[in-house]
Amino acid sequence: MRTQVVIVGAGPSGLLLGALLAKAGVDAIILERQSEEYVLGRIRAGVLEQVTVDLLDEVGVGARMHREGMVHGGFDLLFAGQRHRIDLQTLTGGKSVMVYGQTEVTRDLMDDRKAKGLTTLYEADNVQIHQFDSANPYVTFERLGKPHRIDCDAIAGCDGFHGVCRASVPKSAIQEHEKVYPFGWLGILADVPPVAHELIYANTERGFALCSMRSATRSRYYVQVPLTDRVEQWSDERFWEELRLHLDPQARETLVTGPSIEKSIAPLRSFVVEPMRFGRLFLAGDAAHIVPPTGAKGLNLAATDVKYLSQALIEFFVDKSEVGIDHYSQRCLRRVWRAERFSWWFTSLMHQFPDMGSFGQKVQEAELDYLVYSEAASRSLAENYVGLPLNFGE
């Protein structure tokens, strides 16, 4: 087989890249190690920045999102027992975010790719990338017990933190930056109405909590837990009781509980690799960087990566110019580090750390108090939360 671009990974970033390239007439084959059902079973974030919404519209898959998603013009910060609303639209000149689950984004992109007859090969085992430091890269894999090879001009590594693409780069050619946080998020998904119409980010002496949702009838809740905790230690009843202890009186009254349909503990880390390009191999999304989920930057950052990458590859194939691919890594990393800074700051502000004590808690509450009563500070939070424009600072 031969194609112009092999995209490794059929998550939302790989599928979005495939859609952007297809629209420009650039051929791409997507390889995915897991089954289609497994990919759709992943439970992930659900807050989309305007940039991501616009990209989904650009490739023609936004109709269901606009029909079923929920536009949020603000969110609440809860600290010292009281809630304070951050009015995103007022602070950013009318911008908002869209609550629409990553699983639904993936489904929409999958369905669109199928309808257009574009090639996605699921259950591709033992994927290996070769000669990506030359003008003639290729990818080998096994499928249905048979070996295969795809020759190409470029490889896009959209295969996540544990994928083969970044792991194939020589250690001497890559620099890793990492911060591991000393806690995780215990999250549950339940078919109950949300406790509020918008998200609530809670800072308490018991730690962080987040009240989120996937729809008007499906809620997603999180509480901070030690990394030593295991899901088996947390019954549904224990989780709901712990969540109540993080909420204000009004939220406790309106909280509806029910059986969980998914429960997991996610560790938190900040992670960036530099550069994001190695010859004809380009990393995007979680293959290149991880942000803590505080502030919901992961999927949105991946979406902007693939927008930049699609522009660079279209320039390469259509305009016969290497300027875009030469600047891809630098362009992405400037935006990546801005998002890393915001996610680190928001995480540091909202969580209990082992050594912070009562002094640290009071300092957090003082900063939050300043944040909600200072228009300048609120605006900074709001503009980062809704997402910086694609060309910010360029």
Summarised one tens digit per residue, pLDDT across range 35-52 is 999 998 876 778 999 999
Ramachandran angles phi, psi of 29, nearest 5°: -115, 135
Q: Is the pLDDT of residue 272 over 90?
A: yes
- pLDDT for 192 equals 97
Can you give the residue range of the structural domain that contains 113? 5-67+101-177+270-351
Q: Which residues are catalytic?
A: 72, 201, 293, 297, 385
Distance between CA atoms of residues 129 and 165, nearest Å: 7
What CATH number did the domain enclosing 44 receive? 3.50.50.60
Number of domains, the chain: 1
126: region left, alpha or beta (phi > 0 left; psi from -120 to 50 alpha): left
- pLDDT for 393 equals 73
- pLDDT for 391 equals 83
Residue 289 forms part of a structural domain: yes
- pLDDT for 380 equals 97
Ramachandran angles phi, psi of 241, nearest 5°: -65, -40
Residue 35 forms part of a structural domain: yes
End-to-end CA distance of the chain: 39
Q: What is the DSSP letter of 193?
A: -
Q: Is the pLDDT of residue 253 over 80?
A: yes
Residue 207 forms part of a structural domain: no
The mean pLDDT value for 318-326 works out to: 96
Distance between CA atoms of residues 126 and 146, nearest Å: 11
- pLDDT for 179 equals 97
- pLDDT for 42 equals 76
Reported as a single tens digit per residue, the pLDDT across 99-156 is 998 999 999 999 999 999 999 999 999 999 999 999 999 999 999 999 999 999 999 9
Ramachandran angles phi, psi of 57, nearest 5°: -65, -40
Residue 140 forms part of a structural domain: yes
- pLDDT for 305 equals 97
- pLDDT for 390 equals 85
Reported as a single tens digit per residue, the pLDDT across 180-222 is 999 999 999 999 999 999 999 999 999 999 999 988 899 999 9
Residue 311 forms part of a structural domain: yes
8 Å CB contact between 51 and 96: no
Residue 388 forms part of a structural domain: no
- Total count of residues recorded for the chain: 394
8 Å CB contact between 299 and 44: yes
Residue 313 forms part of a structural domain: yes
Distance between CA atoms of residues 163 and 5, nearest Å: 17
Residue 370 forms part of a structural domain: no
